[in-house]
Amino acid sequence: MSEYHRLGPYVRQFLLQDLIADRNLSRNTQRSYRDTIRLLLRFIDQQHSTDPTQVTVEQVNADLVRSFLTYLEQNRTNSVATRNQRLAAIHSFCRFIARQVPELLDQVREIQSIPLRRSVVPCIAYLEKEEIDIVLATPDRSRPQGQRDYALLLFLYNTGARADEAAHTTLGDLNLGPHPSVRIFGKGGKTRLCPLWSHTSKILRNMLGPRLDGSREAPLFRNVRGQPMTRFGIHTLVKRTAAKAAQTVPSLREKRATPHTIRHTTAVHLLRSGVDINTIRAWLGHVSLETTNRYAQVDLEMKAKALETCAISQADPSPERTRIWRKDPDLLAFLNSL
């Protein structure tokens, strides 16, 4: 066994040194990579009867990785997107291995040659205005928990924050002055400043009460036990509230309501209100403008209105009534934003 390299020490270096100290990746990325390696070691243990402490780097070859990916899809019924996410984590781990053990470069190259599988990009799910209004109206605001639920849902809709971002927002991140705003820490350690509606500011003040004068490190949203809310708790809250709201608005039964659905809703509604794509990108904290452009593609209502503007009139046109699209700055701005 001495000529082989035990996998364990490299796993530890990768998770603690490379991901955290060197690359400073987000908490969710760290957990995703950790879970991938955990699943891989469990697979090796079950399928090859090898104790995780005895697994060597040499065992993790391209054939084993392909078998692992098949196991994910067939035995765990993972989607193509999840399969690709696990493979990306393995690719990253292998690049780290190659830097530490150059003699295994050929083995690593074979694993790196395993491609990500193409998948259909799902349509963006979002709520119409009347649907999000009903969701916001669902919590019982006569009770403290209902006040918290309403404030959290309104905060998500106002800011477009991810569940993890909302869970880690503190009192010190809030500015409830004349121009209210909130500082949000997003993916990759990036920070953005998001404006708050005056109504959101008022609701947050009412929810916090005396807590406003407390520690600036205290969480903005707490659960019924007074502990910081987690992203899982926020997911549960949104799902539970949407299910109750669906009793009033049947269309909600056809939609999978999550914090990310509310994030998409924020983007689409901002777009419909005339906010430009670059502002929405900064609002949501997208790195690439291409990601934000997807919202323009899903908003069929705006496209239909644009086509109506360009349509040829069936009646005899007159110079006063004909709208020439090349001289319409609003339409040009819309087309340029696509």
List, by residue number, the catalytic residues.
162, 187, 260, 263, 286, 295
Helix, strand or coil, per DSSP, at residue 126 = coil
**Contact present, 203 and 150 (Cβ < 8 Å):** yes
Burial class (CB in 10 A: 0-12, 13-18, 19+), 306: middle
For the record, the structure tokens of 18 come out as 């490379």
Separation between Cα atoms, residue 69 and residue 131, nearest integer Å = 39
Length in residues, the chain: 338
Beta strands 181-185; 191-195: pairing state: antiparallel
Q: Could you tell me the end-to-end alpha-carbon distance of the chain, in angstroms, rounded to an integer?
A: 59
Separation between Cα atoms, residue 131 and residue 246, nearest integer Å = 9
